[in-house]
Chain A
Amino acid sequence: MGKAKVNQGIDLSSYKDVWVFAEQREGEVVNVSLELLGIGRKLADARNSKLFAVLIGACAESYTESLIQYGADGVLFVKDDKLNQYSTEMYTQVISNLINERKPEIFLVGATTIGRDLGPRISARVGTGLTADCTRLEIDEADGKLLQTRPAFGGNLMATIITPDNRPQMSTVRPGVMEKCEKDTSRKGNVEIINNKLDFSKDKVDFVELVKHMKEQVQLEEAKVIVAGGRGLGNKEGFELLDQLADKLNGVVAASRAAVDQGWVDHDRQVGQTGKTVRPKLYIACGISGAIQHVAGMHEAECVIAINKNEDAPIFNVANYGIVGNVYDVVPKLIDALDQVDDILKAVE
């Protein structure tokens, strides 16, 4: 079979259903896969079609039921122990074969480090369009095509992309943005075991080992309260102050890219276009200017507080409450005030 081509006048109507890639690592299905089922459900319902999860690796067998319970109508389960560990070539082979065979109309992949490796390879093998890092997906009422919205220019611009003449319409979807469905334990669906012939000789990459970060993982995406620091802190020690504030609020410390680039904190604390997207209840931005690349990662927070000595800092445009002042002046007072909440409230009355 030769190389795929695009825009070859295929019969679009022969493509049906929404598929999502249920990414698993070491046997556990990652969170974004469930978010994909959430948006996938909405899209499938809008198209009057079905939602399938593609799960690769025998080690993840225990998750097949919950994929149904989170919204899938069926699971295409490639139950193969040789595929427990991610491999670009093998996963691309499996999925491309399935796509060519069954012709889904839409295929979604989580924009994780693995998803962004896999998505483009599949789309190039199959010969279709792929839109990266989508933050919004909708069905066009007029003609049923998928409208894929995503940030570009470092978040300065949003673009809505379409794949008019090729199928499946593929998107990688930014983690932390889409909502999962409520888990419905009564929900039933079909788990189909897939056993296609694979050519392992085409895999030229040898997996040697997985090395996990030693330190305790920072789960920014799950945090309800985040205290973030930026260039305005001026030095690494400023983060110790933020640690104190975060402790008082049972929150987690994060940072803008500027602070990470300075070496004041690790990259896994970075919020923004090239960091993590977070949706906490409370986000306190300290000494962060609010460049659009940072805002892209936190503008969904329910309540944003900004503390910055520059009154023109763009962060104030996205903050519910803004204090113009020196972080080293305001934050200690805030820490103290959090111990005196009752007194303050009484004084106000």
Chain B
Amino acid sequence: MRIVVCVKQVPDTNEVRIDQATGTLIREGVPSIINPDDKNALEAALQLKDQNENVEVVVLCMGPAQAKEAIKEALAMGADRAVLLSDRAFAGSDTWATSTILAAAVAKIGDFDVVLCGRQAIDGDTAQVGPQIAEHLDLPQVTYVQNIAKNGDKLRVERALEDGHYVLDVEMPVVLTAIKELNEPRYPSVSGIYNYFDDSERPEILMWNVNDIDVDMTQIGLKGSPTKVNKSFVPTQKFEGERLEGSAKEAVRKLIVRLHERQLV
């Protein structure tokens, strides 16, 4: 069985800060991590590998050269090999263009049974790339996956809803997008860390650029993106409210008075 796992390297948005003066994000010093949902996707692939014979896990990542760190972490967790897609031509891609590129790479890797993606990246927050990859590859999709089990030659999947879940049987090849409830990702092993980090040339990591995949150049990059950013801005902070001073008892009394004024008590 071959499983392709799409991972994205993202800034840790919990650590991102706003430059109040310019209204832009401060990215320096913000650590880069594997997108959390993608880790769940990778863990699911690794569990399938642990539990079955002959499973190969291939990690696919589109990003700048530094995204190699994310790939190394994935390999240290137990993936078999990895492809880093890196090219200037990809820059500025929205989800359509990104999914076009990734789908072409998945097609080139070929002979796969499952494409696992994280549901949503914590920087873009769109949750669109997984389903769009599925459409480009003409494959069935199941999103919000919270459980995967083999069911003969199909997969029995639990798909989360707001208030419950669907149980679905799906044929392979299939695209699945993972949510955090799916599993608890393992740590990279120490031997994996020593194996993959620091050595810059690893045979397990393939570097592909735009010439290595079969893709329509008009459908990628900034020019190939149907959506464009018109502007971006930092959400404004609300006014500073009233600080109720004094001991807890006094502050609470003041609060009751104000809530009464607002007809809330």
Contacts and interface: CB of A to CB of B under 8 A. Distances in A.
Q: Do A and B come from one complex?
A: yes
Interface stretch (A42-50, A70-78, A341-349): A341-349
Contact of B170 (A151, A206, A292, A325): A206
Contact of A304 (B174, B241, B257): B241
A220 to B, nearest CB: 10
B125 A154 contact: yes
A160 B230 CA distance: 5
A208 B156 contact: yes
Contact of A129 (B227, B231, B249, B262): B227
A116 B244 CA distance: 42
B33 interface: no
B233 A209 contact: no
Given A113-B144, A124-B131, A330 B226 contact: no
Interface string B119-131: 0101111111111
Interface size, B (range): 35 or more
Given A210-B166, A268-B162, A130 B244 contact: no
A58 to B, nearest CB: 20
Nearest to A248: B265
Contacts of A238: none
Interface in A140-174: 147, 150-166
Contacts of A24: none
A5 interface: yes
B233 A157 contact: yes
Contacts of B164: 210-213
Interface stretch (B10-18, B49-57, B65-73, B186-194): B10-18
A225 B262 CA distance: 13
Interface string A231-263: 000000000000000000100000000000000
A79 interface: no
Given A121-B131, A123-B96, A129 B253 contact: no
A131 B100 CA distance: 17
B228 interface: yes
Interface in B94-132: 94-96, 99, 120, 122-132
B223 interface: yes
Contact of A154 (B122, B167, B233): B122
Interface in A98-123: 112-114, 116-117, 119-121, 123
Contacts of B169: 205-206, 208
Contact of B265 (A133, A162, A338): A338
Contacts of A155: 235
Interface of B: 11, 13-14, 16, 18, 25, 94-96, 99, 120, 122-132, 134-136, 140-144, 154, 156, 158, 160-171, 174, 181, 216, 218-219, 223-235, 237-238, 240-244, 248-249, 251-253, 255-260, 262, 264-265
Interface of A: 3, 5-7, 88-89, 92, 112-114, 116-117, 119-121, 123-125, 127-133, 147, 150-166, 203-213, 217, 225, 249, 267-268, 273-274, 281-282, 291-293, 296, 299, 303-306, 316-326, 329-330, 333-334, 337-338, 341, 344-345, 347-348
16 contacts: A6-B96, A120-B127, A120-B129, A121-B132, A160-B230, A162-B228, A205-B170, A206-B170, A210-B167, A293-B14, A316-B240, A316-B241, A318-B237, A320-B242, A321-B241, A326-B248
List the 10 shortest-distance A-B pairs measured between CB atoms, nearest first.
A129-B226, A154-B13, A124-B135, A129-B227, A212-B164, A120-B131, A120-B128, A132-B126, A204-B140, A6-B226
Given A162-B228, A165-B226, A347-B253, 16 more contacts: A117-B141, A120-B95, A125-B135, A157-B235, A158-B233, A160-B231, A161-B227, A205-B170, A206-B154, A210-B166, A211-B158, A274-B120, A304-B241, A321-B242, A330-B252, A337-B252
